[in-house]
Amino acid sequence: MKLSAEYLDLKLRHTFTIARSSSDYANNVLLRLRDGRHEGLGEAAPQRYYGQNQAGCRRTLLKMGACLKDADPFDLERVLDGLAKRFPKEPSARAAVDMALHDLIGQRTGLPLWKYWGLDAAKTPQTSFTIGIDTLAMVRKKLEEAERFPVLKIKLGVQGDMEIVKEVRRLCPKKTLRVDANCGWSVKDAIAKAKILEKLGVEFIEQPVPPGQNAKLKRIQERIGLPLMADESSLTPDDIPPLRGCVKCINIKLVKCGGLRDALKMIHTARACGLKIMVGCMIESSVLITAAAHLTPLVDYADLDGNVLISNDPFDGVKLDRNAKLLLPNRAGLGVRER
C-alpha cells in the first residue's frame, strides 16, 4: 500500500469557543492509502490539548507509511497493534490509518462498513448540534441557524454560563438540551449548576472537571440527579472500568482512542460496565464524521456535527434526515467521496 498525507484546513462558520480555547480553523490532515485499484481515505484531527499539531501529525503519518508498504488491509489487528506500540502518543494519526484500512476492506468486499459489521443502519441516533460559547446575541443567531436540529449541545465552563442555558431554554422550550463544561468547573460549581440544569430539563452534563480526577466525578455524580458523561476522562478502553460508579455515560471519539477498532473495544467495555455511550467528534470533515457514524447503531447518543460546523467540507458521506438522524451511506467502505 502507498500512503500520502496532505493538509486539510477546515474553516469554521463561526469562531468556535469552548472553556479552554477558541479557533477559526481546524488544521487537520487527509490521508490516502492506495491499494491497487482502491483508495482508502482517512483523516486525522490533531489536538493541541493532547500535544499534537498538523505538521507533526503529517510527518507521523508518512512514517507510518513505511510500516504499511507490504501490509494487507485485512491484517487490522497486527498492523494497528504495531502502530500503537510504535506511536503510542499519536492516536489521531493512528485513527486516520485505521479508518483508511476499514475503507479498503469495505471496497474490497463491496460492502458498506456498517453492513460488513452486521449492523442495522436504521438504528442510528439523531446527532446533536453544538452551540459554542458566545455572547447571548450570537447564541440567539446560532439558534436560528440550528433550527432543524431537535437536540442541542451547549458548551459551558465559563463565568455566567447558566445565563446561556437559560436563554437557550427560553427560546427552545421543546428541544433536548445537553451541556459540556469541558473541564471548566470545580466540584462545588458542578453540584450547584447541576441543580439549575436539572430544573431546565437538561439531559446530561459532559466533563465538569479536568481528567485524572475520577474521585471528583464520583463525588459530583453521587450528589446530583443528572447523569454525568466522561469525555476528556475517557480516551481509551482502559479508561472505562475505573469510571464505573463515577459517571453514567462516556463519549467516544476516534481521534482520542486511535480509530474504529479501539472505538469498538470501548463500546463493548462500556456496555459491560453498564454505561451509556455517545460517539462524538472534533472539528472534522465528512471523512472522520462518516467513519464515526458507522459505529452509531451500537450507541445511545451521537454528537457528530463537526462537518456541519465548517464551510469548506471537501467530502460527502453520512447525511441527516429531517430530524437530524444520521443516514449511513450505501456505498462500499466508508462511503465517502470527493464533492
Binding site for Mg ion (CB under 5 A): 180, 206, 231
- For Mg ion, the closer of residues 97 and 249 by Cβ is 249
Residue 26 Cβ vs Mg ion, minimum distance, rounded to whole Å: 15
Instruction: Name residue, grid cell 459530583.
Output: 220
Residue 129 Cβ vs Mg ion, minimum distance, rounded to whole Å: 14
Instruction: Name residue, grid cell 499519536.
Output: 90
Q: Give me Rg for the CA atoms of the chain.
A: 19
- For Mg ion, the closer of residues 48 and 337 by Cβ is 48
Angle, helices 54-68/76-86, rounded to nearest 10 degrees: 130
Strands 326-327 and 319-320: antiparallel
- For Mg ion, the closer of residues 17 and 109 by Cβ is 17
Residue 24 Cβ vs Mg ion, minimum distance, rounded to whole Å: 20
- For Mg ion, the closer of residues 43 and 206 by Cβ is 206
- For Mg ion, the closer of residues 184 and 335 by Cβ is 184
- For Mg ion, the closer of residues 60 and 128 by Cβ is 128
Q: Are 99 and 113 in contact (CB under 8 A)?
A: no
Residue 303 Cβ vs Mg ion, minimum distance, rounded to whole Å: 8
Residue 206 Cβ vs Mg ion, minimum distance, rounded to whole Å: 5
Burial 220-246 (b: 16+ CB within 10 A, else e): bbeebebebbbbbbbbbbebbeebbeb
- For Mg ion, the closer of residues 27 and 234 by Cβ is 234
DSSP element (H, E) containing 261: helix 260-272
Residue 152 Cβ vs Mg ion, minimum distance, rounded to whole Å: 14
CB closest to Mg ion, residue no: 231
Give every CB contact of residue 88 below 8 A, 6+ residues apart in sequence: none
Strands 337-338 and 315-316: antiparallel
Alpha-carbon gap, residue 220 to 217, rounded angstroms: 5
Residue 192 Cβ vs Mg ion, minimum distance, rounded to whole Å: 21
Beta-carbon neighbour count of residue 13 at 10 Å? 13
